[in-house]
């Protein structure tokens, strides 16, 4: 039991005291980043949803908007918009501790699982970005916790709670339906098919459907637009692409732990066919989801965040295999955790303070820096506010949303629908300001010059300016600002 690392036993590293200290550090780090960084454009978009609450939305189910609404009742600061992610992190930590202690009666394993989960780069730093994954991950983890309570007690009344939290997860993100796949795999592999004889299971399903009814009703009202979009979004028609599989798995290694991911995936697959109920359970609620996206990668490259809910129990597999393994495995575990934390902190510090001189590599590298997402939009909006524009139209729902957020909706925003993919803007009425006052047409200047021609949209074009934003001592973004008149009455907006 005592594998020494630098003269310290694993039990002295992975325990309740150190877990509390590490979680407090992780939460404090998240609070710092959530306060220090401007909103990602997607967050601004979801914040805009929260100011227009509906039963559902075109891009996703509505729960993220409800979470943001609750945390911004008294403030619309960046921290307030993101505060639900911090609350969710604390709840997930408590749940994981309770679950692992119930599964394996081991403080070392519980502590290691929590530290592994928290040290994941996508959770340590990137998870401050509030997206539909925030409520989806939370509710799926709660549902998974109650599945274990059902397994342990055989109290079929737990189906009601499982149904409730699964329904709430579906009200958060459609891919939560993969929970049913995991549940079926578990029932099949651990010989729990007799659960289908339980009437409580079907009542749980009814509870889930009731939770999901707002989304169904909204889609019925809008010709099933959201369902159609998500099916097309998840599976494109570009033929078979085997290279996407390797790219997806490589991304997941970076998301979870570049050292541990592939060994843990291999062990997880072995656990699926174990005779140990606990091992089958933690594998069934993680491995099938990760492998599902391997299959979909043949058609479309999955987003790095898509399998995130699987890592709730995947972290437990890592903890069992490495924390309770031989001395080498324990050393590898600690090294990998330290590596994850260091890299995550460096990325967070770079996002705020630009500590890496990426411009020395190349101008393209500086412009391609992914942390650039947190820059320029606030400053652009400040310029627009100074010039007293009553409305702004852009070709992008993300750009329009950031302008709406940083102007606190003082500037009414719209999206040009003809050349961009649909968004929730296509389902909202146009602001009256477009019809009776002057405003601006704003777009990011890249390679597309077609947006310079707007004579068919606006009655007048008065002036054209360029707003350039510098980072890394280079211009990373340029926005063209066209002062325009009212929208022409014969211009056809293809709002649904």
Helix, coil or strand: residue 362? coil
pLDDT of 496: 32
The residue among 117, 164, 119, 130 whose CA lies nearest residue 145 is 164
Mean pLDDT in residue range 195-223:
98
3-state DSSP helix/strand/coil percent for the chain, to nearest 5? 65, 10, 30
Cβ partners under 8 Å of residue 250, min gap 6: none
For 301-340, give the DSSP string. PPPTTTTGGGHHHHHHHHIIIIITS-HHHHHHHHHHHHHH
Q: If you compute the radius of gyration of the chain from its CA atoms, what whole number of angstroms results? A: 24
pLDDT of 324: 79
Instruction: Tell me what the pLDDT averaged over the chain comes to.
Output: 93
Residue appearing with tokens 């040290």: 119
Helix, coil or strand: residue 354? coil
Integer Cα distance of 333 and 323 in angstroms: 7
Integer Cα distance of 83 and 203 in angstroms: 34
Q: Is the pLDDT of residue 40 over 90?
A: yes
Integer Cα distance of 286 and 310 in angstroms: 4
- The ranges assigned to domains in the chain are 4-227+306-352, 371-484
Mean pLDDT in residue range 99-107:
96
Mean pLDDT in residue range 55-66:
97
Mean pLDDT in residue range 125-154:
95
- Residue 197 CB neighbour total at 10 angstroms: 8
- Residue 239 CB neighbour total at 10 angstroms: 7
Cβ partners under 8 Å of residue 385, min gap 6: 407, 410, 411
84-93, 222-231, 487-496: the lowest-pLDDT one: 487-496
In Å, what is the CA distance from 122 to each residue of 28, 304, 343?
16, 9, 11
Give the β-pairing of 439-444 and 391-394.
parallel
Mean pLDDT in residue range 53-63:
97
Token representation of residue 368: 């391609």
Q: Is the pLDDT of residue 172 over 90?
A: yes
Mean pLDDT in residue range 289-300:
94
pLDDT band at 5 (very low <50, low <70, confident <90, very high): very low
Integer Cα distance of 55 and 49 in angstroms: 11
Largest CA distance in the chain: 78
Token representation of residue 376: 């320029």
Q: Residues 16-47, buried b or exposed e (16+ Cβ, 10 A)?
A: eeebeebbeebbebbeebbebbbbbbbbbbbb
Q: Is the pLDDT of residue 237 over 70?
A: no
Cβ partners under 8 Å of residue 121, min gap 6: 254, 255, 340, 343, 344, 347
Mean pLDDT in residue range 31-38:
97
- pLDDT, tens digit (0-9, with 9 covering 90-100), for 356-367: 999 999 999 999
- pLDDT, tens digit (0-9, with 9 covering 90-100), for 299-341: 889 999 999 999 999 999 999 999 877 788 999 999 999 999 9
- Say if CB 458 and CB 485 are below 8 A apart: yes
CA dihedral 442, 443, 445, 449 (to 10 degrees): -100
pLDDT band at 3 (very low <50, low <70, confident <90, very high): very low
Q: Is the pLDDT of residue 472 over 90?
A: no
Quick one: how far is CA 332 from the chain centroid?
A: 28
pLDDT of 2: 40
Share of the chain above pLDDT 70, in %: 95
Mean pLDDT in residue range 342-354:
95
Helices (H) and strands (E) in the chain, counts: 22, 7
Angle between helices 277-284 and 287-296 (to 10 degrees): 30
Q: Is the pLDDT of residue 233 over 90?
A: no
Give the global pTM. 0.94
Residues written for the chain:
496
Token representation of residue 237: 């028609």
pLDDT band at 94 (very low <50, low <70, confident <90, very high): very high
In terms of phi and psi (left: phi > 0; alpha: psi -120 to 50; beta: otherwise), the region of 224 is: left
Q: Is the pLDDT of residue 493 over 70?
A: no
Q: Is the pLDDT of residue 488 over 90?
A: no
Cβ partners under 8 Å of residue 182, min gap 6: 284, 285, 286, 288, 289
Integer Cα distance of 122 and 10 in angstroms: 25
Query: Which residue has better confidence, 495 or 471?
Result: 471
Mean pLDDT in residue range 252-265:
97
Query: Which residue has better confidence, 171 or 472?
Result: 171
Token representation of residue 47: 């914040």
**Terminal Cα-to-Cα distance of the chain (whole angstroms):** 63
Integer Cα distance of 61 and 173 in angstroms: 6
Compute the C-alpha angle 447/367/31, nearest 5°. Answer: 125
Integer Cα distance of 17 and 24 in angstroms: 11
pLDDT of 375: 96
- Say if CB 280 and CB 317 are below 8 A apart: no
Sheet holding 474-484, edge to edge: 412-415, 391-394, 439-444, 474-484, 461-471
Token representation of residue 332: 């590898």
The residue among 457, 459, 460, 481 whose CA lies nearest residue 469 is 481
pLDDT band at 467 (very low <50, low <70, confident <90, very high): very high
């Amino acid at each position: 039991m005592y594998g020494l690392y630098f003269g310290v036993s694993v039990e002295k590293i992975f325990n309740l005291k150190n877990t509390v200290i590490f979680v407090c550090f992780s939460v404090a780090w998240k609070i710092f980043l959530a306060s220090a960084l401007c909103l990602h454009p997607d967050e601004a978009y979801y914040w805009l949803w929260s100011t227009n609450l509906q039963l559902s939305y075109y891009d996703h189910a509505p729960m993220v908007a409800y979470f943001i609404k609750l945390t911004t009742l008294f403030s619309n600061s960046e921290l307030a918009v993101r505060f639900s992610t911090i609350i969710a992190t604390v709840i997930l930590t408590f749940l994981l501790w309770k679950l692992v202690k119930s599964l394996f009666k081991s403080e070392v394993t519980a502590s290691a699982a929590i530290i592994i989960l928290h040290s994941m780069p996508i959770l340590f730093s990137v998870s401050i970005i509030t997206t539909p994954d925030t409520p989806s991950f939370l509710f799926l983890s709660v549902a998974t916790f109650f599945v274990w309570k059902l397994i342990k007690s055989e109290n079929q009344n737990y189906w009601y709670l499982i149904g409730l939290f699964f329904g709430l997860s579906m009200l958060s993100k459609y891919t939560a339906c993969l929970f049913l796949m995991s549940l079926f795999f578990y029932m099949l592999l651990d010989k729990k098919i007799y659960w289908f004889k339980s009437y409580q299971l079907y009542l749980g399903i009814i509870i889930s459907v009731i939770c999901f009814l707002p989304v169904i009703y909204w889609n019925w009202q809008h010709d099933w637009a959201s369902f159609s979009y998500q099916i097309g979004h998840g599976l494109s028609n570009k033929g078979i692409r085997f290279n996407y599989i390797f790219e997806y798995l490589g991304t997941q290694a970076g998301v979870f732990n570049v050292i541990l991911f592939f060994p843990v995936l291999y062990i997880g697959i072995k656990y699926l066919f174990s005779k140990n109920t606990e091992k089958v359970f933690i594998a069934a609620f993680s491995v099938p989801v990760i492998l599902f996206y391997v299959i979909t990668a043949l058609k479309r490259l999955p987003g790095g965040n898509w399998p995130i809910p699987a890592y709730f129990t995947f972290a437990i597999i890592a903890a069992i295999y490495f924390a309770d393994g031989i001395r080498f495995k324990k050393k590898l575990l600690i090294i990998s955790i330290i590596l994850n934390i260091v890299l995550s902190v460096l990325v967070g510090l770079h996002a705020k303070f630009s500590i890496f001189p990426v411009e020395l590599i190349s101008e393209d590298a500086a412009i391609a820096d992914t942390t650039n997402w947190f820059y320029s939009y606030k400053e652009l909006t400040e310029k627009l506010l100074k010039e007293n524009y009553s409305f702004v139209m852009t070709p992008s729902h993300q750009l329009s949303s950031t302008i709406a957020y940083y102007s606190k909706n003082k500037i009414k925003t719209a999206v040009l629908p003809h050349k961009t993919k649909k968004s929730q803007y296509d389902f909202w009425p146009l602001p009256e300001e477009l019809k009776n006052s002057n405003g601006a047409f704003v777009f990011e200047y890249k390679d597309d010059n077609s947006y310079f021609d707007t004579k068919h949209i606006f009655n007048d074009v008065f002036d054209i300016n360029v707003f350039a934003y510098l980072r890394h001592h280079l211009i990373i973004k340029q926005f063209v600002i066209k002062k325009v008149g009212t929208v022409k009455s014969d211009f056809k907006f293809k709002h649904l």
